Structure 1
Amino acid sequence: MDIAVINPNSSAAMTARIAQSISRYKAPATHLRVLRVETAPISIQGHFDEAACLPGLLDAVTQQERLGVDGIVVACFDDPGVGACREIATGPVIGICEAAVVFAKTVAANFSIVTTLPRSVPIVEELVVKYGAERQCRQVRAADIPVISLEEDPDRARKAVRSEIEKAIAQDRCEAIILGCAGMSDLAEELTRTCGRPVIDGCVAGLKMIEGIVGAGIVTSKAGAFDYPIGRELVGSGAGRGCVPA
């Protein structure tokens, strides 16, 4: 099966890190395409950045659909434009926040989420409610680091994330942790070993969910909300402008 993991920001370093982190988890028969949206902001930190990334993201999804991709992961924890992507795509589309929440609810009675900046907290809290997990989510926390610091100052960023996880375990008494940024993808294994809790990376969760759905032969329903857009030929050029591989 062919699966596209699309990072809707333009960071080459983050996209490469996502590709490296998730590649070892893919099924042997999976052909993985990890892409970034070159025309998007360098990081997605709030509502404006979400809106700014959407034209390039939708164009990338249109391109991948025309190339015959079987499923798509939107690799940003704000899950930007997932509904619109589902209208374009025939195969399943998942955002990494939704995937991570499903995984956490499956392996733990409760969880906390550690994201980057405080401004992201209310966005993630809204998604938690949307995905029906407000009772299981103990708290959404911010490590108070810009997304770009995960690339530019990784040691400081790791310490900040670890510190916030330790607070979540001590204060929230949570049974699992979700990493609330695709740029944290490479931290999950180490933190799981050292924190004594499952630490869930939404990029891996998204990949495995899409592999399972595609493997079961299930596609996106076109019976209502996710039907193809009216005037679909006008949605994106399909040329993948600014969409480049890791």
Structure 2
Amino acid sequence: MKIKVINPNTMWEMTKGIENAAKSVARPDTQIVAVSPQMGPASIESYYDEYLCIPGVLEEIKKGEEEGVDAFVIACWGDPGLQAAREVTDKPVVGIAEASVYLASMLAARFSVVTVLPRIKTMLEELVDSYGVSKRVLNIRTTPMCVLDFERDPEAGMEMLRQEGKKAVEEDQAEAILLGCAGMAEFANNLEKELGVPVIDGVVAAVKFAESIVDLGKKTSKLKTYKYPEKKSFVGALEKFGKSQSTFK
């Protein structure tokens, strides 16, 4: 099968790390295609960044329909554009935050998230609430580092995650830790050894969920909520999105 992993930001260095994480758990017969959109922000750390990355994500979903992709993964812990992506394809689309919280719910009664800048805490609180797991999330712990800082200085990134992860276990009594950024994938295994609880990277979780859904032969429901968008014209910078609707089934 072919799984397309979309990093919604435009930093190829981060996309390569995401690709490596995805390939580390994919089956030998699973082809991983990791991409960044041709338009969008360098990193995603605000509602503004998140909303502006979505057109690029949708473009990559549409390309995937022509590339013979069997499933998609949106590799940002805000799951930007996830619901819209499900409208433009009948293939499974898995968000890494969604995969993380559902996997954690099978492994631990309560868990905490460790992520980047404090400003995104409210965004992630709203996100986990939308997935119905807010009672299971003890805390969303932030660090002073932005997304790109973890790329520039992985040693400092690992130390920040170590500190907050230890606090999560000792102070929150978290029974599992979720890494709240796709750029943190490389730290998961070492942190799990140090902290003694499951540490979940959303990229690997989402890839395994995607493989399972394809194996089961399931596709996105087109009955109502996720049916293909109604055809209409778009103007200005979004004009091409109206034209691309001619490919909707």
* Smaller-chain TM-score bracket: over 0.9
User: 2:231·2:242 contact (CA, 8 Å) conserved in 1?
Assistant: no
Deviation at 1:156, TM superposition (A): 1.1
Provide the rounded CA distance (Å) in 1 between the counterparts of 2:151 and 2:128.
Answer: 27
Q: List per-residue Cα deviations over 1:159-187 (Å, max 9, x = no partner).
A: 11111111111110010000000000111
Q: List per-residue Cα deviations over 1:94-133 (Å, max 9, x = no partner).
A: 1110000001000111100001010111111111111111
Give yes or no for the alignment of 1:26 onto 2:26: yes
Q: List per-residue Cα deviations over 1:173-224 (Å, max 9, x = no partner).
A: 0100000000001111111111101000000010000100010000000001
List alignment gaps of at least 5 residues for structure 2: 234-239, 245-249
Which stretch of structure 1 is more off in the superposition, 96-105 or 48-57? 48-57
Provide the rounded CA distance (Å) in 2 between the counterparts of 1:139 and 1:237.
Answer: 44
What is the correspondence of 1:36-47 to structure 2 with a 5 Å cutoff? 36-47=36-47
Deviation at 1:4, TM superposition (A): 0.4
Helix, strand or coil: the match of 1:97?
helix
User: 1:11·1:42 contact (CA, 8 Å) conserved in 2?
Assistant: yes
Helix, strand or coil: the match of 1:41?
coil
TM-aligned CA distance change 1:38 to 1:176, over 3 Å: same
* One-letter code aligned to 2:159: K
Provide the rounded CA distance (Å) in 2 between the counterparts of 1:221 and 1:21.
Answer: 29
Deviation at 1:32, TM superposition (A): 0.9
What is the correspondence of 1:19-98 to structure 2 with a 5 Å cutoff? 19-98=19-98
User: 2:22·2:32 contact (CA, 8 Å) conserved in 1?
Assistant: no
Provide the rounded CA distance (Å) in 2 between the counterparts of 1:191 and 1:121.
Answer: 22
Give yes or no for the alignment of 1:235 onto 2:241: yes
Q: 2:222 is matched with which residue? A: 222
Provide the rounded CA distance (Å) in 2 between the counterparts of 1:32 and 1:153.
Answer: 26
TM-aligned CA distance change 1:226 to 1:34, over 3 Å: same
Q: 1:185 is matched with which residue? A: 185
Q: 2:112 is matched with which residue? A: 112
Provide the rounded CA distance (Å) in 2 between the counterparts of 1:59 and 1:182.
Answer: 20
More contact order relative to length (CA 8 Å, sep ≥ 6): 1
Deviation at 1:92, TM superposition (A): 0.6
Give yes or no for the alignment of 1:143 onto 2:139: no
List alignment gaps of at least 5 residues for structure 1: 239-246
Provide the rounded CA distance (Å) in 2 between the counterparts of 1:20 and 1:63.
Answer: 22
- Residue-pair matches, total: 238
Provide the rounded CA distance (Å) in 2 between the counterparts of 1:102 and 1:167.
Answer: 23
What is the correspondence of 1:135-214 to structure 2 with a 5 Å cutoff? 135-214=135-214
TM-aligned CA distance change 1:187 to 1:172, over 3 Å: same
TM-aligned CA distance change 1:44 to 1:237, over 3 Å: farther
TM-aligned CA distance change 1:237 to 1:94, over 3 Å: farther
Deviation at 1:38, TM superposition (A): 3.2
Question: What is the TM-score when the length of structure 1 is the normalising length?
Answer: 0.94
Provide the rounded CA distance (Å) in 1 between the counterparts of 2:118 and 2:132.
Answer: 22
Provide the rounded CA distance (Å) in 1 between the counterparts of 2:109 and 2:171.
Answer: 16
User: 1:58·1:235 contact (CA, 8 Å) conserved in 2?
Assistant: no
Q: 1:242 is matched with which residue? A: none
Helix, strand or coil: the match of 1:220?
coil
Deviation at 1:232, TM superposition (A): 7.8
Helix, strand or coil: the match of 1:37?
coil
* One-letter code aligned to 1:70: D
* One-letter code aligned to 1:123: M
TM-aligned CA distance change 1:237 to 1:71, over 3 Å: farther
User: 1:168·1:174 contact (CA, 8 Å) conserved in 2?
Assistant: yes
Identity percentage over the alignment? 41
Question: What is the TM-score when the length of structure 2 is the normalising length?
Answer: 0.92
User: 1:62·1:237 contact (CA, 8 Å) conserved in 2?
Assistant: no
TM-aligned CA distance change 1:232 to 1:192, over 3 Å: farther
